[in-house]
């Protein structure tokens, strides 16, 4: 119950939370009004960097959502040129995270991280199509240990995001729903897959590591 109300926070939030608490303390000495504003900001920082435990289905016949947020795109598209997959057609599902969503990202299935490719870029609104090619982004190719199929995850920084955090390494084995990183302050995550039935719906709110995106 306690962990539900007060979930642990991601280590990326320690610095921001400490600065906000210290600033709030000193401002309260001079202005209760401004101090109240900073108290609310501190609560929001804690909320933004929350990192609650999630419980995946643990069945690689399914793909779980890599992010919290809303499904904004479901389409057939070629794979990322950054991974030399521009001649392969995938189903692409996009999850947009606003500043109130949990921003910790997770792997949709169990498998091995075959490739990671980081691309610096701009910071357009992550909901725009051009963000896929121009924004800061990080690509993961994960090979399912059970079936040998590959899926692609793309973290895309958004309008006010300024850092993509990768917490896994090439060659690392992951379990379904395991944390792979996070994006700070509003962003998008795309997942590319083949030969599966899409279960997600446009406009659906999904939970990272738990909501089902696709199945065999």
Within a 10 A sphere around the Cβ of 40, how many other Cβ atoms?
A: 11
Residue 132 known to be catalytic: no
Distance from C-alpha of 210 to C-alpha of 50, rounded to nearest angstrom: 16
What are the tokens at 121?
């870029």
The catalytic position among 94, 132, 187, 211 is 187
Contact partners, residue 212, CB within 8 Å, separation at least 6: 57, 62, 63, 64, 65, 199, 200
Q: Which of 193, 214, 188, 189 has its CA nearest to residue 88?
A: 193
Q: Report the alpha-carbon angle 147-94-74, nearest 5.
A: 80
Report the catalytic residues: 187
């Amino acid at each position: 119950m306690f962990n539900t109300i007060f979930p642990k926070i991601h280590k990326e939030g320690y610095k921001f939370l400490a600065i906000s608490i210290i600033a709030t303390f000193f401002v309260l000495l001079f202005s209760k009004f401004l101090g109240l504003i900073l108290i609310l900001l501190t609560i929001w920082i804690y909320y933004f960097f929350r990192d609650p435990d999630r419980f995946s289905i643990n069945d690689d016949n399914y793909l779980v959502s890599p992010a919290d947020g809303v499904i904004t795109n479901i389409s057939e598209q070629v794979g990322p040129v950054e991974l030399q997959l521009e001649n392969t057609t995938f189903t692409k599902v996009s999850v947009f995270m606003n500043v109130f969503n949990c921003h910790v990202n997770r792997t949709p299935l169990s498998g091995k991280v075959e490739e990671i490719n980081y691309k610096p870029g701009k910071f357009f609104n992550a909901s725009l199509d051009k963000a896929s090619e121009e924004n800061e982004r990080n690509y993961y190719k994960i090979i399912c240990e059970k079936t040998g199929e590959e899926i692609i995850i793309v973290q895309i920084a958004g309008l006010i995001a300024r850092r993509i955090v990768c917490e896994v390494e090439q060659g690392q084995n992951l379990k379904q729903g395991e944390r792979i990183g996070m994006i700070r302050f509003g962003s998008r995550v795309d997942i590319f897959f083949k030969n599966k039935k899409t279960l997600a719906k446009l406009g659906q709110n999904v939970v990272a590591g738990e909501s089902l995106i696709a199945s065999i």
